[in-house]
Amino acid sequence: QVQLVESGGGLVQAGGSLRLSCAASGNTFRINDMGWYRQGPGKQRELVAVITSGGTTNYGDSVKGRFTISRDNAKNTVYLQMSSLKPEDTAVYYCKAASVPHDYWGKGTLVTVSS
């Protein structure tokens, strides 16, 4: 089993920044990729960013150039630095860990961007 706990969400004005953290515990040795997904009001869950155990990153088109994902393997923690936030970034942000035999999800942290 793997447990994921997100933190760092909150209310921020448009143009501002936030940093999300996701700490993994349990059988972390089985974790491969880690990533962030989000689900806005009335929208489907979408990819924000993903990072492999080796540090290769991939971003959703809507956040490229504004968000940065990073990972500290020693701390089993993945981060999402969000800058130039827009009201459309308002969503619940979920952490995901790709593992064996299945993936794990955190409970989510709410990010609200006011205009």
What does the pLDDT look like over 2-16, one tens digit per residue?
999 999 999 999 999
Lookup: tokens for 93: 């942000």
Model pLDDT, residue 75: 94
> CB count, 10 Å around CB of 115?
9
pLDDT at 44 over 90: yes
β-bridge mates for residue 78, sequence order: 22, 71
Exposed, middle or buried: residue 55 (CB in 10 Å: 0-12, 13-18, 19+)? exposed
What does the pLDDT look like over 55-111, one tens digit per residue?
999 999 999 999 999 999 999 999 999 999 999 999 999 999 998 888 999 999 999
Model pLDDT, residue 84: 98
Model pLDDT, residue 101: 86
Give the type of residue at 93: Y
Model pLDDT, residue 104: 96
